[in-house]
Amino acid sequence: MTQAKAHTDVPINIYKPKNPFTGKCMSSKELVQEGGEGTVRHLTFDLSGGDLRYLEGQSIGIIPPGTDANGKPHKLRLYSIASTRHGDNLDDQTVSLCVRQLEYKHPETGETVYGVCSSFLCNIKEGDDVTITGPVGKEMLLPDDEDATIIMMATGTGIAPFRAFIWRMFKEREQNPDYQFKGLAWLFFGCAYTPNILYKEELEELQRQFPDNFRVTYAVSREQKNKDGGKMYIQHRIQENADELWQLNQKSNTHTYICGLKGMEGGIDEGMSAASGKFGVDWSEFQKQLKKEHRWHVETY
């Protein structure tokens, strides 16, 4: 099944690094609940006065202010867009991101190092300027099929494009008479603790409203155990639901999307391999076919 019809008009690089757009921060909201790990912000930027358009599944670049250790301007960092093409305010004038503050120990000094761009974004205040480029990306776009099955697998802030998908499918129904999703959307989300489930209340509210069309399956590694008594990761949830996922993937309009840390891909392949093995099919061969049909979409970092 080709997607040419759906993806003919994809905006790309309306704003380039040499000629970026200056937006303003409209809001910054903490997404990690009390007792969770780290900080993750839902940020909304004002795009009015510019021409930035985007589709669900694309990314924008952010150029943090200041200079690097060599005195050169910082390079841009890419972030998946967490809002639909109409923006959180449905006025086509905003874009939202879901950003975790990067924090790690320096391997030699043992000092805590904070990510340059993620720290800038997580500490930004309402009214502050933000330098934006893009949009970029064609890998994670939704098919133009209201009856499709959309399987989404995310860890942490990898949920960003899927929030955009889910909001477009279910939250904007009244505003989108031209797009009324009637298929199945199934989100698998992995994190360490329950307070780290991003957008939890909103996701569960949509699940209550659309029980036949939307499912959420969590893998909370520090709280849940897999069948062997170890930590529950996303691949264990894939294995638990292997038979159904396998059957869904036999349909020509089922698309699988993976977004999050690179390390999650191996586990997902392991889970799907267990499923396909039950039916005597080699997973890597089947996956190649899915990729060829543009039905297996991966964006990991």
- The order of strands in the sheet holding 94-100 is 77-80, 59-63, 129-136, 21-30, 40-46, 94-100
Q: Where are the beta strands (DSSP E) in the chain?
A: 21-30, 40-46, 59-63, 77-80, 94-100, 103-105, 112-114, 129-136, 149-155, 184-191, 214-220, 254-260, 296-300
Look up residue 37 and give its two tokens.
Answer: 């790990």
Residue of 104, 114, 179, 301 marked active site: 301
What are the counts of helices (DSSP H) followed by strands (DSSP E) for the chain? 7, 13
Structural Rg of the chain based on CA atoms: 19
79 catalytic? Reply is: yes
Q: Is 29 annotated as contributing to ligand binding?
A: no
3-state helix, strand, coil in the chain (%, to 5): 25, 30, 45
Residue of 80, 96, 273, 276 marked active site: 80
Q: Is 260 annotated as contributing to ligand binding?
A: yes
259 catalytic? Reply is: yes
Q: Is 221 annotated as contributing to ligand binding?
A: yes
Residue of 54, 117, 191, 299 marked active site: 299
Residue of 15, 79, 218, 233 marked active site: 79
DSSP type of residue 37: S
Helices 283-292 and 264-278: angle between axes, nearest 10 degrees: 110
Q: Is 231 annotated as contributing to ligand binding?
A: yes
Burial of 190 (0-12, 13-18, 19+ CB in 10 A): buried
Over the range 33-55, which residues count as b (16 or more CB within 10 Å of their CB) and which as e? eeebeebbbbbbbbbeeeebebb
139 catalytic? Reply is: no
Beta pairing partners, 118? none
Residue of 98, 259, 273, 276 marked active site: 259
Could you tell me the CA-to-CA distances from 103 to 37, 133, 270 in Å, in that order?
A: 11, 24, 29
Q: Is 190 annotated as contributing to ligand binding?
A: no
CA–CA distance, 101 with 232 (Å, rounded to integer): 24
27 catalytic? Reply is: no
257 catalytic? Reply is: no
Binding annotation? 80, 100, 157, 221-222, 231, 260-261, 299
Could you list the active site residues? 79-80, 259, 299, 301
Binding annotation for NADP(+)? 80, 100, 157, 221-222, 231, 260-261, 299
